Amino acid sequence: MASQEFGTQFFDEITCSEFDGSTWSAVSFQASDALVLHPASHALHYASECFEGLKAFRTSTGRICVFRLDDHISRMQNSARQLCLPVPDAAQMRQMILVLLNKYADQVPDFPGTAYIRPTLIGTDRSIGRAASPSRTALLYILISPVGDYISADAKVSVLLDTDNLRCAPHFGAVKSGGNYASALGLVMQAREKYGVEQVIFAPNGDVQETAATNCLLINDTEVITKPLSNDFLPGITRDSLLKVAAHLGYQVTERNIDADELIDWAKTGEVALSGTAAVLVPVSEVVYHENRYSVNAGNPSVNTMKLRQYLNALQQEQAPDSFGWLTPIA
């Protein structure tokens, strides 16, 4: 799997359910190498789609467990509501994920590999004249990819701290939809070309928010600081997990607004890290800000970031007690 690009290898089948305007159909299996859509499907023209990203782990006990399954389902339901799409039934969506994992359990890799689960909801109304109307029909499917590390545990990333641009429309940031990722893509590509960085931390008017795909945390020996949740950015489930883990390990957890200048000042002696389902928790090594480059924590190892990541990994591997009730066995 090391030779495979993350997210390009899939189970042979997906599970599907269609909403016909009144009810969801029974769950069915379908080959994962093709999806038939009418060319006028609402999602293709008016971006009526949302998705989730969560993981199933083959733990040290030999069990396969999904991490924070119900929280991811709840977040996807919220995305569907914001997009005025039919809202998936939580129990059915749970079933769709678990039956697929059970059928292909032998393809769930050993840690640090995982089964990366991508529930996807798309509007399927056959109309190119409904830009101002939601799709009344929809397709929900579950696609699963056996993956290795998205970013290796010992990796560090460089970022541009961008105070001029928004990642996406501020009233829509809490929705996990492709349009929000597309909105940031051009800005990230420009930053890579101009500054050689891997990511952009968006901080419109100095308000530190998130990158295109991760939340931002400031960490030192005693405290973890991050921006409080709002509609401006995605409510990261890994973010929430890390805050709870940090409190459990004795860190003071503070949710408050962070100014761009404060982040630069913090980086002189503290750690800056990015969190997400795929990335887990990754240290930032360098911040580009107003054309200047700042080394984070004088280039010292990000020991607190690694401590939090390792504990979260241990919990996901059943090497630490699941005191939060986050693991759902597939059988």
Per-residue pLDDT tens over the stretch 50-88: 999 999 999 999 999 999 999 999 999 999 999 999 999
Sequence letter at residue 330: I
Say which residues have a Cβ less than 8 Å from residue 278's Cβ, sequence separation at least 6.
Answer: 6, 53, 116, 150, 151, 213
pLDDT at 329: 98
- Beta bridge mates, 51: 120
pLDDT at 155: 85
Sequence letter at residue 100: L
CA distance readout (Å), 13 to 1, 34, 100: 19, 10, 8
DSSP code at position 110: B
Say which residues have a Cβ less than 8 Å from residue 190's Cβ, sequence separation at least 6.
Answer: none
d(CA 269, CA 299): 10
Sequence letter at residue 296: V
| Contact present, 233 and 209 (Cβ < 8 Å) | yes
DSSP code at position 270: S
Q: pLDDT tens digit string along 247-280?
A: 999 999 999 999 999 999 999 999 999 999 999 9
- Beta bridge mates, 217: 273
Confidence of residue 1 (pLDDT cuts 50, 70, 90): very low
d(CA 110, CA 89): 31
CA distance readout (Å), 84 to 16, 119, 134, 185, 282: 20, 17, 6, 24, 34
Full set of structural domains in the chain with CATH: 13-147 (3.30.470.10), 157-316 (3.20.10.10)
| Contact present, 260 and 285 (Cβ < 8 Å) | no
d(CA 135, CA 299): 51
Q: Is residue 2 pLDDT above 70, yes or no?
A: no
Q: Structure pTM?
A: 0.96
CA distance readout (Å), 280 to 8, 50, 171, 306, 314: 19, 21, 26, 10, 12
Confidence of residue 3 (pLDDT cuts 50, 70, 90): low
What values do phi and psi take at 118, rounded to 5? -125, 85
What values do phi and psi take at 93, rounded to 5? -65, -40
